[in-house]
Structure 1
C-alpha cells in the first residue's frame, strides 16, 4: 500500500511539473494583454492629466511639474523601473537648451521593460507630456487630445507589457516608454534625448512609435471614425510599413489614412512631432495621429470630447505593433 501511495505521489508530481512546464512554454497571446488596455482606465487618467490643476502643462512651469510626477507615480505603482537609475525617472534638461523658449529647466520621463533575449535592442514608444499652458485671457489649454491622449496611451501600453512580463511573457527586446517635454516649443525634449543624452545607443534603437493626438475624429472621417493617420512608416523601412499593415489586418482592421505621409504634404506633419528626431538619425518611425480639429490648441480641447472607445482601439493597435517589433526574430531593417 505504501509503495502504491508513493507511486501515486510521484505520478502526480510528474503531471504537475509537466503542466507547469507546458504553461511556461505556451506561446503568449498578445490579445490577452491588449484587453488590459481599457477605455475606463484611459478616461480616468486623462480626466486627471488634462484637468485645470495641471495648468496646460507648459514646459518648465508648475503644471508641467505636476504632469511628470503623475507619470512617474504611475510607473512606480506598476513596478515599471527607470533605465536611468533606481527611482530616478527624470532626464533633466537645462533651461539653456530651450533657447529662450522656456523659463525654467524641464524633464523627460523615462521607464522601461528589459528584454528577455535581446535586451540591447530597443523599441521606443513616445508621446509628448507638455502643452501650451494658459492663454492671454487666463483660459487654460488642457490639451486633452494634444497630447494627453498619447500620454495615457503610453501608460496603458506600458502596463500591458508589464502584465505580460509578470506572467513570464516579457518582450524579447527592451521597450523604452519615453515621455518628452518641450514638443510644443520645438521638439526640444526628443532632441535632447537623441542629440545630447540617448540613454540607449541610437544604433541599438530599432524603431520609434510616436503617439501625438489619437483621441478625436477629424471632419474628414466623421462618417468613418475607425481610422488613424499614419505618417513616416515607409520613409526609412518598408519592412516596418508592411509589418504595421499586417498587424492591423490581423488584430484591428481599421482604416489607415496616409494623406499626411505624402512627400508634398503642405502641413509637413512628418517634421512636426517627436518621431522626427529619431528619423533624422536613421531610426524607422511611425507617427500615429487623428488629424486636427476645431479645438486644436484651444481651451476647448477638453477630456469630455475624447472618444474613449476609439482611444482604446487605437492604443491596442499600437500595443500590437510594438509587441510584434519587440518579439520577432530579426529586427526590422533600414531600406
Structure 2
C-alpha cells in the first residue's frame, strides 16, 4: 500500500454502520448459504493456505529484490505469475494480445514517478459464459519498494499477500470453469505495478482500459491481507473499505458472502470520514472509484513491519490469509453470477 496519501479531489465519504461483530467459527465455512452449490464448494476449497504459502515464498523471496517498479526483480516475479496462469490454462484478454500491459516511464514521470523505468501490469482473464461483456475486476499490486542500502524489502504482506490471493482466486474460478460452472460474467485478474510510487499501474489501466469502464461492474482490491495490526491482534477479522461508497448492494453482498463462509469480523473503521489515514484514497481501487465503479478494498491494517525490511514470509498468518482470500472469492462469485449487475446508486 502506498505510504503517503496523495492530495486528491474531495469525495463525500459515507459513515459506515460500524464494525460487524460476527462469530468466527470457521467450521461452518461452506455449510450454510451454499448448500447444494457443489461447483461453488469445490472451487472455494481450491484456495488453500499451503498453496498461498508456496507462491508467496517465491513472490516475496530475496531473488525478487523487493519488486521495485520496473526492476529486474519485479520482472522475475511477473514471469513467475504469468507461468502460473499459463499452467492453469488461464489466458489473457484477447484485445491486449498478451498478459502484459506496458506502463510507460513517461506516464509515471508526468505523475511524479521520477526516473522509474517502463513497467507492466499483468492481466489474466476468464471469459463469462452468459454476460461476457460485463467485467468483474479482482486487483492487487505486485510491486514493492525494492532494495535500500543493500537490504531487500521483501513486501511479503505489502502486497505479496494480495498478489498470491488474486492468483489463488483465479485458480478457484478456473476450477469451476473446467467443471462446466464458469462465471456468468467475465473476471479480470489485474496485477498492477507502480502502486508504491503513486498508484500508477491502476491509473494507467483506468486511463487505457482493455475493457470499457462502462462495462466494469466492480473492483475488489486486495492490498495486505496476511497479517494483523496491534488493534486486532489474534482476531479473525479483515478491514473492508469503501464497500458502501458507490453501491447500496456491494456491502450487503460482501456481508452475506462472509456469513456463508468463514464469518470473519468485518471492520469498517476506515470508512469513517474523520479517519486521518484516508485509506480509501491510498490503494488501487481508488482509480476505479473515481470513475464511479463500485469498489471494496480488503486490508489487514498498519502493522509494525509496514514498509520495513522485516515484512517477511515467516510472519504471515497463512490460515487467515486463506480465509480472507476465500471471502473475496465468494463475494466475486456472487457478483459474477447474480442475474443483474450491482447498482451504482450513490455519489
User: 1:106, 1:174 → 2: CA distance?
Assistant: 25
| Unaligned runs of at least 5 residues, structure 1 | 1-25
Q: How many Å apart are 1:86 and its aligned residue?
A: 8.2
Of 194, 218, 221, the residue aligned with 2:206 is 194
Query: Is the CA contact (8 Å cut-off) linking 1:28 and 1:169 kept in structure 2?
Result: no
Matched, 1:203 2:211: no
Q: Deviations over 1:69-96 (max 9, x none)?
A: 1111111111101004687100011110
**Equivalent residue, structure 2, for 1:5:** none
Query: Is the CA contact (8 Å cut-off) linking 1:125 and 1:154 kept in structure 2?
Result: yes
**Equivalent residue, structure 2, for 1:112:** 125
Secondary structure of the structure 2 residue equivalent to 1:228: strand
**Equivalent residue, structure 1, for 2:223:** 212
| Bigger proportion of residues as helix | 1
Q: How many Å apart are 1:193 and its aligned residue?
A: 0.3
State the TM-score, normalized to the length of structure 2: 0.87
Secondary structure of the structure 1 residue equivalent to 2:249: helix
Of 159, 162, 172, the residue aligned with 1:150 is 162
State the TM-score, normalized to the length of structure 1: 0.90
Runs of 4+ deviating beyond 6 Å:
none
Of 8, 29, 32, the residue aligned with 2:42 is 32
Structure 1 or 2, whichever has the larger Rg, is 1
| Unaligned runs of at least 5 residues, structure 2 | 1-35
**Equivalent residue, structure 2, for 1:252:** 262
**Equivalent residue, structure 2, for 1:265:** 275
Of 258, 280, 283, the residue aligned with 2:290 is 280
Matches within 5 A, 1:1-335: 28-84=38-94, 88-99=98-109, 100-135=113-148, 137-195=149-207, 197-224=208-235, 226-335=236-345
Query: Is the CA contact (8 Å cut-off) linking 1:252 and 1:317 kept in structure 2?
Result: yes
Deviates more, 1:109-118 or 1:59-68: 59-68
Q: How many Å apart are 1:50 and its aligned residue?
A: 0.2
**Equivalent residue, structure 1, for 2:12:** none
User: 1:108, 1:84 → 2: CA distance?
Assistant: 15
User: Higher relative contact order by CA 8 Å / sep ≥ 6: 1 or 2?
Assistant: 2
**Equivalent residue, structure 2, for 1:6:** none
User: 2:275, 2:248 → 1: CA distance?
Assistant: 20
